[in-house]
A and B are shown apart, each in its own frame.
Chain A
């Protein structure tokens, strides 16, 4: 019987396992489907990781290795090439791997850290033929950065997600011509710094409110027809332009990978597409925790680490001194301007000093206030100079203020007119 089984050895799984070990758990296993730990960080060779957490700027592989090196010291077992097929509410983990075959492992607690996957072309249904040369930005990143294949010479990037922006720069450095980055929304979905460093630096145009309306090509992509879209995101007739290109990279969003979560009957939030979590990252299933991109898609790994440490502590606490289930569950709801909040439920007596709440806004905000309300009462407000949907935000609500609330709490954003 394991104290804890962590599913996924990316940044979330690593931080959760390490924190659980530091908080007293002895027998910990991480099951990872790849042939090495580190997850997506291994292909994210660019820098900018760790500024918040380590107060220095690291590349993805460097950020990962800081955690991977700790595994051995803490006696954490790592099972590689291991595919988890099923988890159950009784905390049984069905896993298959070449060395051990098919096994059902039992655990006192589980942390779900499977991360997310890229939306594919099918999900956004571009009309036209289906030639080779259309791939997700993350797949291209793995080919170029790890496997040493160049993916194309004349490239269009559809979507302005961070990986798409980073790959626009990467392919330019490797000698490709990146013609443009197209974003259907009127704002970039990636971080501002990536727009500056990856597109502006290389004179790659970012065409906002534009999308691909047709892909042409026989065996390989030959042309893409691009059009401007109106407020309802419908292409405007007469605005079409044709780009001659051999490759189209898709950076049109990420979705938490929750097949295992779903199958276990764990409650999912339709807004985040991840499990509904409590203040300690516990899901609706007692003893099963979740953290990182499987809960909600982050744009900074530093916050994944922070959140996963909470999950690791939660799991350790659960195994070592399980508290009786309490009834006082306070729900956090999205008000105007907010597209999701995490955690969705808070048990106030478990909050130490402050509760961090992560959220995203659903449109651009200049000077604004993040307002926390309970019924009619404003219990807290936080000023922000600028907020965009592409950048995850957070507020720290002091416990004393939470204690004042009755019923659900609503988090909304208002333009600051003062």
Chain B
């Protein structure tokens, strides 16, 4: 039995996941907690948000996010890839900044127009 705190929404339900019995989840406040609990035990995924350098913009940094979560263990490698990027203004919200981050299929996209 593993206990994880659900982070899908701010409620933070304490989930119990029974690995021996088909990953049965208890303690969830809604359906989404079930999927999260199972995945968190079998294959933890995370979103990353960060910034990249940008030239000729009102600010020297442009905020970015992944368009979908990646494996938790890839976080630091993904940050390294982001470190190589330098954008030039104009950049628009939603524009792809790095494609296929660490071969995960996820992309970093800009989260504001600058």
Contact = CB atoms under 8 A, between A and B. Distances in A.
Contact of B51 (A45, A52, A299): A45
Contact of B10 (A42, A48, A65): A48
A170 B113 CA distance: 21
B10 A45 contact: no
22 contacts: A45-B63, A51-B10, A59-B49, A59-B111, A61-B93, A62-B111, A65-B93, A144-B51, A145-B51, A145-B63, A146-B61, A148-B53, A148-B59, A173-B50, A173-B79, A174-B79, A191-B12, A192-B12, A196-B7, A196-B12, A197-B7, A201-B72
A59 B48 CA distance: 11
Contact of B29 (A47, A146, A148, A385): A385
Contacts of B113: 65
A174 B46 CA distance: 17
B111 A45 contact: yes
B75 A173 contact: yes
Contacts of B72: 201
Interface residues of B, number: 31
A366 B79 CA distance: 39
Contact of B61 (A35, A147, A173, A385): A147
Contacts of B2: none
Interface residues of A, number: 34
Given A173-B79, A196-B12, 5 more contacts: A45-B50, A147-B60, A174-B50, A196-B4, A201-B46
A300 interface: yes
B112 A193 contact: no
Contacts of A193: 5-7, 9-10, 12
Interface string B12-55: 11100000000000000100000000000000001111110100
Contacts of B61: 145-148
Interface of B: 4-7, 9-10, 12-14, 29, 46-51, 53, 58-61, 63, 65, 72, 75-76, 79, 93, 111-113
Interface in A75-111: none
A192 B46 CA distance: 16
A300 B50 CA distance: 20
B5 A47 contact: no
Contacts of A146: 59, 61
A186 to B, nearest CB: 17
A263 interface: no
A47 B53 contact: no
A146 B52 CA distance: 10
Contacts of B4: 196
A110 to B, nearest CB: 29
Interface in A188-209: 191-193, 195-197, 201
Contacts of A45: 49-51, 63, 65, 111
Contacts of A192: 5, 7, 10, 12
